[in-house]
Structures are given as C-alpha cells and as structure tokens.
A and B are shown apart, each in its own frame.
Chain A
C-alpha cells in the first residue's frame, strides 16, 4: 500500500482552477484512488480543519504509453555540451492530433520534465496558440518501503525535477516548439542529456512518453594541454598533466588518454605502484583518482563527490 499526500496553499481562490500533477504509476498497477479535500486555517490559532472531502475518485489505468514514437526535448544537434543557448527550442511533436474536451477544453496536455533545469528564470513562448504553459518543480522520490517493512535496510533516492506542463484549449495540435529565452545545456551527462516529454489525450490517458529525441551535437575541444616530459628510468616521479577545463566538472568522470593513432604506445608505462591526484588552481582536491593502464591507453577515474 502506498499513501502520499500533498497540500497546495491557496489564497482566497475566487474562480475555478486546475491542479496539474505529474504522476507515474508502478508497473502492474491498474487503478489508483484519489481523495481531494480542502481545509481551512483558523487565522487566530493556526489550526487547520477539513472543510470538505470529495468522494473517492478512482482512476483506472488502461493505457500503456507509447515510448517509441514522438519527438520530445531540446533541439540541440547544432549546440555544444555546456553551452548557454539563446532561444532554445523544446520540441513536443505528437504522432497523433490532440483533441480537447468540449466542456472545459482541458484534458490534452504536453509536459516535459528533467532533473536538469533547462529553464532557469527564462520566459517560455510558443504555445500560446493552443493554450497555456506552466513551469513547475517536483521531487521525484522513491524508497524501498515495501521491502523495508520486511527487514531490508531502508534506502531512498530522489531527483529534483523541473519542467513545464502545457494544456490545450484548442484541438489539432501535433507539432510544437516551445522556446526558452535562455536555455542551459548541461555538461555532466555528456552528449546524452536527461529529460522526458509526454503527451496525454483529453481522456487523461498518457499516449506518449519518451526521452529526449536528440543528443547534443558537439563537445568542447580542449586546447593548451601540457604533458610532463618523460624519459627512461623515471622512478618515483610526480608528473603533472595540465588540462584547462572547458566546462566545470562537478560529477565523477573518466579521463582517457590514447595514443594517436590508437596503435601507438604511450611514452610511459606504469608498474602498478603509481598513484594520481587531482589539483585545481594548485590546490589538491578531495576527488578520488584511480587509473588502469595499457601500453596504448591509460584510463583515469576521477571520483568527485
């Protein structure tokens, strides 16, 4: 049994409003129950009391989202890892035309979320002909609660998600390019950047759910690298590789140095007794460093916590 609750503070709402909730249902779950209520706050004591509870609302899950079609996510094939982009496009192409409910024009929506904040404080345009968009955040939080109750050690993981939900007021939407005034392409994932787009139909069914449709097209090229001069019988030597980073490194990375052409032996070998460390601006960092050498290649693993 999974229970969760969240509260949305409302300041004297005068008209009807929509609450947009990104949700994911576990595999095998066929229905889920919602309880909607509102409560009032005593302004003198601060006590809260339930003012109204909506009867139980059961939502049946009869749709498996298609994860093979649709084009969602940032258009970045001509951009570079770590780049700040003016007018970054977020594509939201639906394979099928979307329709809206006649009563309230609500039900069809495009959403895009990622653990990386592509938006910053930017404005978003491009959807006004169909409806409205809302940028929002949520916490994607998972635990092993079921197995924890059976004796396993409690574990959890979470991601702070940020994205956008656009709901349609006009039928016919199939292609879309949202425009973020200033978009930020991350560097810590490499060229495959995180994010999911989704399309839901007016019945509430999730039609399409797919990760980003494009990889970042280019990677920064480092210049000015210096290697230490090496020679024979170098024993217990400290050599410094000086690498000017084109992007910040705030997560663990692998640094691979390979002879060019790849059959070329490196000008040094290791006797499996060496160590390595990472310095930044002349100061040793707390990053862990390990390496695995071959005659033609050395692979460093830099563990950045």
Chain B
C-alpha cells in the first residue's frame, strides 16, 4: 500500500491471543501486540491503488476450431470497488483469434469464496461486448 498525504489515518491497536485453553482469552493468553498502527482512510473519495492477482488459469484445448471455455481466478487487492465499476480483462491472443467469431462470448463470475466453493455472483453477470471482442 502506498502512502498518500491526502489520506487520513486513525491509530489502531492489534492484539493476538491464544485460544488453546479458552474461547474467551484475557491478558494471560496474549501472544503478541502492536500499538498505534496507522490505518489510512479517506471519508470523501475513492482511494487506494488496485492490484489484480490473476491465477489458476485453466484451458481445456488449444484447438482454434473448438468452442470452449476457460477458467481463471482473480482477486482485487487493496482497492475499494464501486458496484458500478468494471473490471476489464484483455484476452490477448484469445481475443485476436476470436475477433471474427460469429459467436457471442459469455462469462460467469463467481463470488469471492474462502472455502473454494463456487456460488454465482449476480453482481458480475454481464459481459460488455460494445468495445469489440478484442476489448471486452
């Protein structure tokens, strides 16, 4: 996270407790601490720099004559994202190869999951083809 003089910060304390012997730990279970750590925020506008972590790309076939699906995962890090914002994914050579396709591409986006189970995201149900297939 980069610093920015336009940010406001509050200070927070962090304490880590052991749960080995109790579910309601006290100072006796304290493992480590951090005091007065700055927590940046901006109450008025959209802040922060986006990092998009892309991984787990799966492709089923390399044949250009086959209509297929492929999967990848991504995670937005350290960025506030409005519900009206869009994430643009450049498909690179895939888009070039399919620029003359008569088929409309479709996509499904699943919500963020901590368990690995997939649930369909209604907030990400659309794909914008108005910019052409090379610029989804």
Contacts and interface: CB of A to CB of B under 8 A. Distances in A.
Interface of A: 81-82, 187-192, 215, 219-223, 225-240, 243, 245-247, 249, 251-260, 264-268, 275-277, 284, 289, 301
B33 A222 contact: yes
Given A188-B20, A253-B31, A260-B13, A289 B42 contact: no
Contacts, number: 185
B123 A236 contact: yes
Interface stretch (B61-69, B74-82, B90-98): B74-82
A237 B76 contact: yes
Contact of A232 (B34, B35, B44, B114): B44
B74 to A, nearest CB: 10
A217 B18 CA distance: 16
Interface stretch (B4-12, B99-107, B127-135): B4-12
Given A256-B15, A260-B12, A192 B29 contact: yes
19 contacts: A188-B20, A191-B27, A192-B28, A219-B30, A219-B33, A227-B37, A229-B48, A230-B39, A233-B80, A237-B81, A238-B75, A238-B76, A238-B77, A253-B18, A254-B18, A255-B14, A260-B11, A267-B39, A267-B40
A189 B30 CA distance: 8
B58 interface: no
Nearest to B17: A254
Interface of B: 1, 4, 7, 10-21, 25, 27-48, 75-83, 111-114, 123
B81 A234 contact: yes
Contacts of B45: 231-232
A142 B67 CA distance: 62
Interface centre among A229, A245, A289 (most CB of B within 10 A): A229
Given A239-B78, A251-B20, A260 B1 contact: no
A254 B18 CA distance: 6
Nearest to A260: B11
A227 B13 CA distance: 12
A48 to B, nearest CB: 41
Interface centre among B16, B42, B48 (most CB of A within 10 A): B16
Contacts of A252: 18-20
